[in-house]
């Protein structure tokens, strides 16, 4: 009887250890907020225009560097930009990624101004050069909820 209790306790401990090891891996994307997004038209980011296509937005691994957003191509083989951001807040989280775009007329691409990871009320406001920031401040911001 003691042997059965010992084996059951041992199996339970192994199961708990396995859960503790797997749990951080399951939430790895939440820590770096990795998001893959496809734009159907060109979009402006600070310093450049991204052509229509698929991109990966991700935070650096170091939590102290989460004021940066890195933009990669679809397969993570090329770093396109490292962008500085400020904190942005919203009242309610959503289940999907949310981007805020400044509409700037038909002659210029929409500019990404904010990005919120699913389930978060804190997000990222992209920092543009001062002259462009003033232009974007007067533009109408459209919120786009991306599907999962």
pLDDT above 50: residue 18: no
To the nearest whole number, what is the mean pLDDT of the chain? Answer: 80
Tell me the CA distances in angstroms from 116 to 103, 122, 123, one per residue in order: 18, 7, 4
* Interval 87-110 mean pLDDT: 90
pLDDT of residue 94: 87
pLDDT of residue 102: 92
Write down the H helix ranges in the chain: 2-26, 28-32, 130-137
Confidence label for 59 from pLDDT (cuts 50, 70 and 90): very high
Q: Give exposure, 91-125, as e/b (b: 16+ Cβ within 10 Å).
A: eeebeebbbbbbebeeeebbbbbbbbbbebeebbb
* Interval 12-23 mean pLDDT: 33
pLDDT above 80: residue 130: yes
Query: Which residue has better confidence, 119 or 19?
Result: 119
pLDDT of residue 141: 86
pLDDT of residue 72: 97
Spatial separation of the C-alpha atoms in residues 80 and 90, rounded to whole Å: 28
Confidence label for 81 from pLDDT (cuts 50, 70 and 90): very high
* Interval 98-111 mean pLDDT: 90
């Amino acid at each position: 009887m003691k042997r059965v209790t010992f084996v059951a306790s041992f199996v339970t401990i192994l199961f708990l250890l396995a859960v503790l090891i797997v749990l951080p891996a399951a939430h790895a994307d939440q820590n770096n907020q990795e998001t893959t997004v496809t734009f159907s038209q060109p979009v402006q980011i600070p310093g450049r225009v991204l052509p229509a296509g698929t991109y990966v937005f991700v935070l650096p691994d170091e939590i102290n560097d989460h004021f940066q957003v890195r933009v990669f191509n679809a397969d993570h083989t090329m770093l396109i930009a490292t962008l500085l951001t400020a904190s942005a807040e919203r009242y309610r989280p959503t289940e999907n990624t949310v981007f805020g775009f400044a509409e700037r007329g038909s002659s210029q691409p929409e500019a990404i101004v904010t990005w919120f990871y699913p389930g978060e009320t804190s997000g990222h406001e992209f920092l543009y050069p001062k002259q462009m920031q003033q232009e974007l401040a007067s533009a109408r911001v459209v919120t786009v909820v991306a599907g999962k």
